[in-house]
Every structure is written in C-alpha cells, then in structure tokens.
Amino acid sequence: MSRISSANIPAAESADQEGRKRLRRFAYGLMICVCLGGALGRILAVDAVDRLALQDFRLRKVAEDLQQKRAELRARGLPEREVEEELARLEARWKPRAQLRRPFLSANDRSRWCTVRALVEPEMRVAGAPYAIDKVIAEPNWNTIDMVYHDGHLYSSKPPLQATIMAAVYWPIYHFTGLSLGTHPYEIGRFMLVLFNLLPLGVYFVLLAALAERFGESDWGRLFVVAAGTFGTFLTTFVVAINNHLPAAVCSLAAIYAVVRVWFDERRDMRYFITAGLFGGLAAALEPPALALLAAVCLALLVKAPRPTLLGALPCAVVVAAAFFATNWIAHRTLTPPYAHRSGAENWYDYTYQRDGRTVESYWRNPKGLDRGEPSRGVYAFNLLLGHHGLFSLTPVWLLSILGAVLWLCQRKEPRLRWVAAAAAAISTACILFYIMQPTMNRTYGGMTCGPRWFFWLAALWLPTMLPAADLLARRRWARAIGLLFLAWSALSAAYPTWNPWMHPWLMNFAEYLGLLQS
C-alpha cells in the first residue's frame, strides 16, 4: 500500500472539512426553510371552529332531551319497560345526527368509503347491485355528492377498481373482528389510511432517494430534490384522505424506477418488467392521463428487451386493464367509468333520490362555486398554471423541473437522459392539455381542493428531472437561495391545508380577502 505524504494530509482534511461544512450549512438552511414554510402555512390556516365542542354540546342536548322525554312518559303512566324501549328508539335516531366528527373529510373520499361498505357489509348490500350505495348514504354522516344514478340505484362516481381493492382488505376486518366502518370509523379508517397512503408514500420516498443517488451529481442537489419530494408537494397533504392522486404518483415512480434499472443499469431481472407493467397499469387505472406514461414505459422496455417485456410487463398491464373494465362492468354494466356519463340522453348526474322521507335533487343539477365550471378556457388555463390554483404559482419548485428537463435535453454526454427528459416533457404536456381542453362543466380546478390535484401524480416525473437543475443551483450561493425560496413557498402551499386537503388554496383565499375574487 502506498503511503500518503504527510504534506497532503492537511490539504485533504481541509477539503473534507469544507465539504462537510457546506453540507451542514445546506441541512441547516433546508430545515429552517421547511420549518418556517410549514409554520407559516399553519398560521394562515388557524381556525376557531371547534367541531368537537359543537358535537359535545349537541350530544349533551340529546341527553337532556331524553331525560325530559323520560319524565313525560312516566307522567303518562307508561310501564318502565315501555319507557326504556321508547327512549332507546329515540336515542338511536337522535344520537347519530348529533355526531359531527368523522375521519372522512369530504364527499370525495366518502364516496369511495361508501362503496367499500356496500361491498362488504351484508346489511348495506342492495340485491342485484353489489356496488350500489343507497343504504350506506341513508345513514347519518355518510352523505356524499360524488355519486351517480342509473338503473334505479345510486353509485359512487369514482371508478370502482380502487374501492374494490380496499374492500378486499376491509372484508377480513369486518368478518373476523366484528368491527365495521359504521361502528368504528376512526379505528378502521385510520388503519386503512396507513395501509393505503402512508406506507406507499414511504416506499415512494425510498425510490425517490434511490433515483437521486443514481442521477444526482452534487450533495446539495440530491438532498434538495428529496426535500422537495418530502415537503414541497401536495402528496403529503393528501395522505389523510383516500384519493387516487397519491397512489397514482407512487405507482408511477415504481414503474419509472423499474425502467431505470433496465435501461441504465442493464438489469434483466423479470421482477423489474413485472413491476413496470403492473404499476404502470395501476397508474393509468387511477389517473387516465397516465396512459401516456404506461405507453412510454412499455415502448422503452420493448425496445431494450422485447422478450421479457412481452412475457412480464405487457401481461401485467393487461391484467390491470382487465380488472379495471371488469369491476366497471360488474358495477355499472358498461365498460366506461361513471364520470363518462355526464351529458346527453344518458346523464347519470341528473337525478333525484329519497333521504329521510324527503326528495333530494342531485347537487350536479345546480352546482355551486367552482363546480359550475370556468366559462373561459383562457382564464382556466391561466389559473390552472399561474393563478389561484396554479401549478407553478402554488409550487414554484416545479419551475426547476422545467429547467432540469431542458438541461438534460441539451447535454451530449448521455443520450439516454435526453430520452428521459423528452418523455417527461411530452407526457406532462399531454396531461396539462388534456385538462385544459375539457368542456366547461369539467373546468372546475378539481373542485374544493387545495391545489391542481389532477397534476399531482406527475411529481413522479418532475422530481427526477429536477436533479440537473438542483445540481446547477448548487454551484452558486445566490442560486441556492432562489431554490430554497421556491422550496419554502411550495412547503407553505402544501402545509396550508393543515387538517383537510379539501379546501381552497391559500392563494385563492388571499385573493378573496383582497377583493380580487368573489367567494
């Protein structure tokens, strides 16, 4: 072993110390900006509404009314047994309506939970219509506006595949423990949120870190991209609600990671082809525009390794497609999902139904606020990209992804990276145009939501392509400051909806406060 000259030791130690110091400084700046961004978001979201206190008040009122009713029944000379039976009947009717708290935060996620209950709980099933939710929505606190009506029954407006997968997990819980979502919504609901949201999000972060290590060129750039993924996107915001956007992002990144292993690391393990096909298919089932990603994944694998692609990736994608269409056929006797039946003679959103002895009209006959749709496509495009629901105005960290894609397209050292950037740009453009070109009734910004949720799944594409831009920022102090400012702003937007992602973005609320928008 050659000996290192003692004269070189101080220089080596000095360089090492300087590198570690720079890394520490970045870590300090990262922690500070994320902490301040999150704190500011929570400060802006402080609200004096206390549903727990209101619920306690209403439950106390129910108890008082029951005591008063007991006195009235006894005064009429009824036997004690009949008094208690009448009180039990009244309590069963009054108490559920006094309970306001529930772990299901909006009509959107409740719509999926309703389907889960209908599929598993025998008392909630409708004969001949296993996906019908008529009986579920009749229960207190289980109402939703995200439903459709056809063939005499009400159904969730969401494609049924995701709810079917959830029901497969709920079935043993219900049958082996005796607990139900009706009697124990918090225990079961939180367990399933951990299983379907939190754990997959953890896998997503691990894969993101692996890709950062694979393609990043600087410590600062790698750490910045992982920090952006963990704190600067709306995926963490939606971890508290069942939705299709978070799992679509996880599936997309899993498929991308598998393609990277095949294309860049020359791996031919069948598991990578199966992973790419399976999760690419699931991403497309959860987010229709992700069909573009699935096509790109299959094409990339087919060019690189035709045989394992045909034996592994494509069959898995076909299985997911078959499950998507099969569940939709069983639920609705059609291959097209419910949201495709919103116009013309067969409008599943135009209906009335009975609830608590009264006739209720579909919310979608006269939608309110943003649900009415933006008449101007130009205004819609602006607000969707740069305005009150703006992709770049709420999360400016994505501007670095555009820069990163340009840098990869322009570099000449690694042609494969140019293909990655071109694919990311093409898929992103197709997805954005898909939603901008929607008819007026669909130009809703995603409804009551904290950001442009239809684009959240694209984080799986944009975070890896951010790496060359982050490496570029790492070279200059002023550039790093700009990157950290973008990250802090994005963290603010993600943290603003502290307890519920189903609320307007802070930019829209701020614009309303200034009188620039009408509520």
C-beta separation of 316 from 274 below 8 A: yes
C-beta separation of 155 from 133 below 8 A: yes
C-beta separation of 506 from 493 below 8 A: yes
Residue finishing a domain among 98, 133, 167: 98
C-beta separation of 390 from 379 below 8 A: no
- Same structural domain, 330 and 451: yes
pLDDT at residue 88 in the model: 87
pLDDT at residue 304 in the model: 94
Q: How far is CA 227 from CA 18, 61, 276, 408, 479, in A?
A: 22, 48, 25, 21, 17
The string of pLDDT tens digits covering residues 1-40 is: 444 444 555 666 666 666 755 675 655 577 476 645 755 6
Domain presence at residue 311: yes
pLDDT at residue 309 in the model: 97
Residue finishing a domain among 98, 122, 137: 98
The string of pLDDT tens digits covering residues 50-74 is: 555 666 677 788 788 888 888 888 8
Domain presence at residue 61: yes
Q: How far is CA 378 from CA 323, 385, 439, 440, 474, in A?
A: 38, 11, 12, 12, 37
- Same structural domain, 209 and 322: yes
Domain presence at residue 232: yes
DSSP element (H, E) containing 411: none
pLDDT at residue 40 in the model: 62
Q: What DSSP line would sit under 62-93, residue for residue? A: HHHHHHHHHHHHHHTT--HHHHHHHHHHHHHH
Return d(Cα 382, Cα 115) in angstroms, integer.
36
Tell me the residue range of the domain where 509 lies. 188-513
User: Region 490-510: what's the mean pLDDT?
Assistant: 91
- Same structural domain, 78 and 221: no
Indicate the number of domains in the chain: 2
Return d(Cα 116, Cα 145) in angstroms, integer.
16
Tell me which residue of 429, 439, 431, 433 sits closest to 455, measured CA to CA: 431
Domain presence at residue 289: yes
pLDDT at residue 330 in the model: 96
- Same structural domain, 91 and 217: no
pLDDT at residue 52 in the model: 57
pLDDT at residue 473 in the model: 97
Tell me which residue of 279, 264, 445, 465 sits closest to 369, measured CA to CA: 445
Cβ count near 257 (within 10 Å): 23
Return d(Cα 18, Cα 23) in angstroms, integer.
9
Residue finishing a domain among 98, 127, 161: 98
Domain presence at residue 431: yes
- Same structural domain, 206 and 339: yes
What are the φ and ψ backbone dihedral angles of 129, each rounded to 5 degrees?
-145, 80
C-beta separation of 491 from 231 below 8 A: yes
Q: How far is CA 472 from CA 20, 21, 219, 304, 401, in A?
A: 19, 19, 12, 30, 12
Domain presence at residue 208: yes
Domain presence at residue 160: no
- Same structural domain, 321 and 422: yes
Cβ count near 68 (within 10 Å): 10
Domain presence at residue 81: yes
The string of pLDDT tens digits covering residues 425-468 is: 999 999 999 999 999 999 999 988 999 999 999 999 999 999 99
C-beta separation of 287 from 430 below 8 A: no
